[in-house]
Amino acid sequence: MSNIGSYEERNKNFDWSIAEKELNYKNGDVINIGWYCSDRICEMGKANKLALVWEGLGGIEKKYTFNDIRLKSNTIAAFLKNLGIKNEERVCLFMDKMPELYIGFLGILKMGAIAQPLFSAFGDESLHVRLDNAQTTAIITQRKHVSKVRKIVDRMPYLKHIVIVDYDGKKPLREREISFSMDEAKQVENFDIFPTKAESPSVLHYTSGTTGQPKGVKHVHYSLISQYLTTKWVLDLQEDDIYWCTADPGWVTGTSYGIIGPWSLGITQCVLDTGFSAESWYKFIEKRKITMWYSAPTAIRSLMKAGNEIIKQHDLSSLRHLASVGEPLNAEAVIWSEKVFGKAFLDTYWQTETGSIMLTNFPGMKIKPGSMAKPFPGITATILDPDTYKEIMEPNKPGLIGFRPDWPAMMRTYWRNEETYNKKFVNGWYIPGDRSTIDADGYFWFVGRDDDVINTGGHLVSPFEVESALLEHESVAESAVVAKPDEVNMEVVKAFVTLKPGYEASDDLELQIMNFIRKKLSPLAMPQEIEYMKTLPKTRSGKIMRRVLHAKEWGEEIGDTSTLEDDE
């Protein structure tokens, strides 16, 4: 029996107070996600239950009970407090998927600061832009990534502490750097958890838009209510489950459903901190007896590519429930998973700003492969006319997705960017920027983005950010960046450039530019293809027309070109 039972019944009688009651929370109470995910679970009698089973390269493993994560998050919280960090100051987590990342997240929340997780593959420039916007006080990182922080530290006077969790003493620490070992530090049994309230800020995740710099999405401790209940009803986590969320906590899935959801429910989760290979993933599921697996379409399509023979070499019978997030899950992947695993990946739709699952397939619901299915109970979702922002009542007619912004995990603002935040609302609807249709049965079907943001492997990349970085390469005169269709990642970054006098187009230069972006921004932002142009299509006023290049890549009609400078 699934946790949700009947979707229709839940919809009829829904109120978010269901989650509040289960979490024993009343309006006005203290609510601290760090406490809910560790101390409360211990108080419920699960102190000795495994919370985290971590596996690194070469099969090295570490195990932590809920009491361990309670103590260690206390220890981290006390350490940060002793550094003089105050509540609501930003503390960045910049690490691979190490235990310190997961437990450090709780420690930051426990002492009232705001956790700012950033993807550890970010290059120094991507890191700087995000730390600068947040005016981050401290960064918790590891030896492997500290060199990127050192490159930009002189530009960040507000950054007071660089905490290295795996310092080995071989090279001297530099100014502002401090070593902290979570396992070797004296464990703090009792820590006075900061009395955060529902609207106290908790997490700052950065996401990319078409224009401007990345936006810091501010969430609050009350988001727990949505994250707890969606985990329970959609991911269907039950007491004996062994859960694996493959997302990196540098992104929102990795915190909402890779930390908060499972641990607030007292569920054991496993983490594999190595690179991707079909063999290592299947081996991990078999070895850890994973029962619930939450992954991403890109990974699923890569597994499809690896073939079905490899699956037969592993006992994957422990799997009982699968779900997917990141970008639309194509029908072929749903059908394939049902064939090879005996159960289909259920697609879920949400984004950094929404903080929790919005549209989703539920256990027990009829699956229409390729559809995002229906709104979570309590979520009012619709399709809006892109010109009038009025609801489209006609089935199968595409429009903009709109949500009534009244669920607990909704973002509260973009950090220091209220103007952009306000633009996300029209006629009382929150507009996530995606287009969809609704069929006659009320199922949502993804159509595409409504802007130029590139969704590559479930991660959003800003064309503006890549274009700006390209211009910093010595050879590039002009740049335009668009999405290019890709079989595995749905979209990848493609750049069009014109070169400065004295530079000649060549394969070696292309590789040099690719690597320049990879190191400066991130591997995700690296153009997988660069096309040299004599000129870029521009309006007569000189604005580069990305849509012309996008249409070319996707084989679409270019549309109105009357404003083009010339037709080359």
Nearer to other proteins, 106 or 300 (CB): 300
Q: Does 274 bind other proteins (CB under 8 A)?
A: yes
The two three-digit tokens of residue 357, written as one number: 């699952």
User: Binding to other proteins by residue 514, rule CB under 8 A?
Assistant: yes
Burial class (CB in 10 A: 0-12, 13-18, 19+), 151: middle
Backbone angles phi, psi at 533, to 5 degrees: -125, 155
| Identity of the residue numbered 170 | K
The one segment of 301-309, 333-341, 395-403, 551-559 that binds other proteins by CB under 8 A? 301-309
**Angle (deg, nearest 10), helices 99-110 and 66-82:** 60
Rule CB under 8 A: choose which of 131, 285, 524, 536 binds other proteins.
524
Residue 338: CB atoms within 10 A of its CB come to 15
Under rule CB under 8 A, residue 504 binds other proteins: no
Cross-strand bridge partners of residue 530: 495
Select from 17, 27, 277, 427 the one that contacts other proteins (CB under 8 A). Answer: 277
Exactly one of 308, 388, 396, 515 binds other proteins (CB under 8 A); that residue is 515
Site string for other proteins, 61-100 (x = CB under 8 A): -----------------------------------x----
Q: How far apart are CA 520 and CA 439, in angstroms?
A: 43
Out of 50, 152, 278, 564, the residue judged to bind other proteins by CB under 8 A: 278
Distance CA 378, CA 382 (A): 13
Distance from C-alpha of 562 to C-alpha of 154, rounded to nearest angstrom: 48
Q: Is 518 in the site for other proteins (CB under 8 A)?
A: yes
Site for other proteins in 219-258 (CB under 8 A): none
Q: Which two tokens stand for residue 409?
A: 């995990």
Q: At what angle do helices 278-288 and 297-306 cross, to 10 degrees?
A: 100
Task: Provide the angle, in degrees to the nearest 10, between the axes of the packed helices 124-134 and 507-520.
Answer: 30
By the rule CB under 8 A, 563 interacts with other proteins: no
Distance CA 550, CA 557 (A): 10
Among 84, 276, 332, 500, binds other proteins (CB under 8 A): 276
With binding defined as CB under 8 A, does residue 279 bind other proteins? Answer: yes
Work out whether 423 is an interface residue with other proteins (CB under 8 A).
Answer: no
Q: For residue 556, which phi and psi values (nearest 5 degrees)?
A: -100, 165
Q: What angle do CA 365, 367, 370 make, to 5 degrees?
A: 145
CB of 141 to other proteins, least distance (A): 12
Among 11, 179, 238, 280, binds other proteins (CB under 8 A): 280
Nearer to other proteins (CB atom), residue 277 or residue 317 = 277
| Options 151-159, 185-193, 271-279, 395-403: segment touching other proteins (CB under 8 A) | 271-279
Residue from 273, 451, 531, 553 in contact with other proteins (CB under 8 A): 273
Residue 457 interacts with other proteins (CB under 8 A): yes or no: yes
| Total of chain residues touching other proteins, rule CB under 8 A | 32
CB of 146 to other proteins, least distance (A): 9
Q: Report the Cα 445 to chain-centroid distance in Å.
A: 21
Q: Which is nearer to other proteins, 277 or 380 (CB)?
A: 277
Rounded CA gap, 491 and 208, in Å? 15
* 273 vs 565, beta carbon nearer other proteins: 273
Residue type for position 523: P
Q: How far is the CB of 548 from other proteins (least distance, A)?
A: 25
User: Which one among 226, 256, 269, 302 touches other proteins, defined by CB under 8 A?
Assistant: 302
| Closer by beta carbon to other proteins, 426 or else 511 | 511
Residues 6+ apart with CB under 8 A from 463: 210, 452, 453, 454, 480, 481, 482, 493, 546
The interface mask with other proteins, positions 427-456, x = CB under 8 A, is -----------------------------x
Q: Is 475 in the site for other proteins (CB under 8 A)?
A: no
Query: What dihedral angle (degrees, nearest 10) is formed by the CA atoms of 23, 26, 32, 38?
Result: -30
The answer to the question of residue 286 lying near other proteins (CB under 8 A) is no
Among 28, 157, 275, 502, binds other proteins (CB under 8 A): 275
Pairwise CA distance, residues 51 & 48, whole Å = 9
Residues in 96-155 that interact with other proteins by CB under 8 A: 96, 121, 143-145, 147
Cα 542 vs. chain centroid, distance in angstroms? 35
**Is 508 one of the binding residues for other proteins (CB under 8 A)?**
yes
Q: Tokens standing for 376?
A: 């979570």
The minimum distance between CB 57 and other proteins, in angstroms, equals 5
Burial of 311 (0-12, 13-18, 19+ CB in 10 A): middle
Could you list the residues that contact other proteins (CB under 8 A)?
57, 96, 121, 143-145, 147, 273-280, 302, 305-306, 456-457, 487, 507-508, 510-511, 514-515, 518, 523-524, 526, 528
